[in-house]
Homo-oligomer: A and B are copies of this chain.
Amino acid sequence: VGKPKFTTDRLYDSPPPGTVMGLAWTAMGGSSLYIEATVADRVKDGGSLKTTGQLGSVMKESSDIALTVAKGILRKTHPVDDVDADSDDATAQTGPHNFFNRHHVHVHVPEGATPKDGPSAGVTMVTSLLSLALDKPVKANVAMTGEVTLNGRVLPVGGIKEKTIAGKRSGVTTFIFPEANRKDVDDLPDYITEGLEIHFASEYEDVYKNAFEH
């Protein structure tokens, strides 16, 4: 996902709600990148998701998948008892479960001119959307990588070593990796992993638990 440019390596000391650091990897090495999700517009009904940042088709689909996953999680974590989708009750309509129906959301991945693609920002995008919907920033110095499926399963990605090194360089102290990449982390030399907090996720919920303060 683009060549590493140190200009984005540390854009935020504590990212606002909606912004989450991901980790990318190319033949040029690893790099950190931010997923920035913000509200473009509030609407009564029929929200949308727009993406920018020269995303390729896999990464665009990844943002669609992330949106569906995020919606599903919000419906689970913020159930609306005895409220029907048809209800006109204001609370029913404005709660987090309905956030993406009430907002046009814009997701950007700086730097804008660097083409990016691949599915490995999946968990980062879900986290970014949830952070925005819940108006809750992620922990400082956390970064993550992992493909996510529509049911929230976290699939392995490539470049664990390069991503870890790039993350450290950007001040990351807490990493969230796919469970299926545990062996790659175990293979890392101690001088790389020393002092790092590393979590593994097989379901998106494992990401959620470690990305936010509770």
Contacts and interface: CB of A to CB of B under 8 A. Distances in A.
The interface centre, meaning the residue of A41, A107, A113 with most chain B CB atoms within 10 A of its CB, is A113
DSSP class of A's interface residues: helix, strand, loop or mixed?
mixed
Nearest to A101: B41
A14 B107 CA distance: 34
Given A11-B153, A54-B61, A151-B19, A39 B118 contact: no
Interface stretch (A65-73, A159-167, A190-198): A65-73
Contacts of A77: none
A64 B52 contact: yes
Interface in A139-155: 147, 149-151, 153, 155
Given A58-B112, A155-B8, A149 B34 contact: yes
Nearest to A151: B36
Interface in A1-47: 7-8, 11-12, 16, 18-19, 34, 36-44
